[in-house]
Amino acid sequence: MRNTASFTVTNTLQFKQQMLGWANRFNICCFLDSHDYHDIYQSYNCLVGVGAATIFNPQDDFLKRLKAFTQQHDDWLFGHISYEANSTLASQNSFADHLQFPEIFLFQPQIVVELISNTATIHTLAESAENVFAAIKNFSHRAAVSATEIHIQHRVSKEDYLETVEELRQQILRGNCYEINFCQEFFAENVALDPLYVYQQLLQFSPTPFAAFYKIYDKYVCCASPERYLKKTGSTIISQPIKGTIKRDHKNGVNDEALKQQLQHSKKDQSENVMVVDLVRNDLSKICVEGSVHVKELFGVYTFPTVHQMISTIAGELKANVDVAEVLNATFPMGSMTGAPKKKVMELIHKFEVSKRGIYSGSIGYITPQKNFDFNVVIRSIMYNETNKYLSYQVGSGITFNSIAEQEYEECLLKAEAIKKALR
């Protein structure tokens, strides 16, 4: 039983900053921030889980064990699923793992804070909600700048990247796949920094609706994701894949709108987007009532601080008694980060990429006591292992036969723009 109480917040922006610093005091925390984006599917301005009363961190059979764990816990759960959480992917992966995030990690928080409009609702397992609210309101923290100069290195040279894209186009020409999300890693070694400061810088440049500051002991994710993977409310489930990106022009409003329209009518981006939509429809049909899966919005173009993006929304009604483990088993990894057909492109990703994805292109989110859940797609994110002093971020793009390798490379750099600014 949790001690629950609600409190009025007079300055929500200040309270969120205090809550972020307060959450970072714990060895384990998950801070989720929508940055007040107007999304009809959004449940919270901000949601935070800190401390761990119970931890789920199996070493194998991840999704099978998850079913039993979620059945035993009718409480809040926060955490992540790595790209390789599929047991086949985990056993095949031979890349060096400098970040060392678990394949799957969920925790039952000691304290949960929901911020909706100007009301903070606190649920605790131990101390009183009043004491927690006072601790957040009185918290004062000044983040430190990077203690070392950060030298970003490319895991893949530009020449090798361009060559690989051409090889992938040949795979498509031979009919092995239709579209594949190809990612590359940028990294830095011997890095000493304050992850909280980096997160604040990143979100200053790129406030996004699925942002997260995520900490497991010495491992951090500073996430500025614009993308939702899956949300369940009651029996309804939605997925909102992103495929299609174009830069913004902040100096010229007319040109910025023209770029938005260019993306809206781009045949290449529509082709990428509709392929992923069909893949998501197919995934959801395995767990949803027959005939209930439908596209609520196709090729919606949304504006973010650095880019315009094409987003589609697919919804369905879940079959009776389908739990989160069965949903993940049917849909994970998400189609926007793999391609079509999913099984084949995952084999090609393993063959052509040279870094373990890990938590990148995985998901961070929460499950409520009522078994509702909301998970993002971990993109536009900085990953950091404080013990190893290793920093990493990855970016990717969807490759189709009509892709131009040079343009795909430039799209990757565009997606990493906010990250580079934050790390300066």
Residues annotated as catalytic are 227, 243
Q: How far is CA 67 from the centre of its chain?
A: 22
**How is residue 245 written in tokens?**
């990106």
In degrees, rounded to 5, the angle at the alpha carbon of residue 381 between the alpha carbons of residues 263 and 38 is 55
**How is residue 263 written in tokens?**
């993306």
Phi, psi of 132 (to 5 degrees): -65, -45
Q: Where are the beta strands (DSSP E) in 178-240?
A: 179-188, 210-216, 219-225, 228-233, 236-240
- Separation CA 410–CA 397 (nearest Å): 10
Q: Residue 246's beta-bridge partner residues?
A: 308
> How many residues are listed for the chain in this entry?
424
Rg of the chain taking only CA atoms, in angstroms: 21
In degrees, rounded to 5, the angle at the alpha carbon of residue 269 between the alpha carbons of residues 264 and 273 is 100
Given a contact cutoff of 8 angstroms between Cβ atoms, the answer to whether 234 and 269 are in contact is no
Distances (CA, A) of 10 to 15, 26, 330: 8, 25, 43
DSSP state of 31: E
- CB burial of residue 82 (10 Å; 0-12, 13-18, 19+): buried
Phi, psi of 276 (to 5 degrees): -70, -35
Q: How far is CA 209 from the centre of its chain?
A: 10
- Separation CA 85–CA 63 (nearest Å): 8
Given a contact cutoff of 8 angstroms between Cβ atoms, the answer to whether 236 and 317 are in contact is yes
